[in-house]
Amino acid sequence: MQNTTPHPKLVRVHVFISGRVQGVGYRYSTVDTASQLGLTGWVRNLPDGRVEAVFEGSQSVVEEMIRWCYQGPPAAMVKDVLVEYEEPEGLRGFDVRRFEKSSQDQ
């Protein structure tokens, strides 16, 4: 018998969070929250003081994660969250990445 339950559409968002979001546990709280919600993706600090993250999952869960980004962990003071929708890549797992300068950034 075929499973006729529709699969939720996979969406991907690329977010940039600004404010007091570095040095307050934002990245690791993001990993915990995204993992609990079953999202895949990554998070990293940027040299300009923002946090950058990518989330992939069902639209409703991704939107829940975006709402969380506006608050973050208790020590964070979020000023703004820029959200860009992109094509999903089918990422696996959720991890912390490091920002690496490209040769043009040096």
19: left (phi over 0), alpha (psi -120 to 50) or beta: left
Alpha-carbon distances of 58 from 7, 65, 96, 106, rounded to whole Å: 9, 11, 21, 38
Model confidence at 54: pLDDT above 60: yes
- The residue ranges of every structural domain in the chain are 22-89
Residues 96 and 45: their CA atoms lie apart, in Å, by 9
**pLDDT at residue 100, as a whole number:** 78
Average confidence score pLDDT of the chain: 91
Catalytic annotation, residues: 27, 45
Report the CATH fold assignment for 22-89: Alpha-Beta Plaits (3.30.70)
Confidence of residue 2 (pLDDT cuts 50, 70, 90): low
How open is the CA angle 61-62-65, to the nearest 5 degrees? 90
pTM above 0.85, yes or no: yes
Measured distance CA(65)–CA(67) in Å, rounded = 5
pLDDT higher than 70, residue 7: no
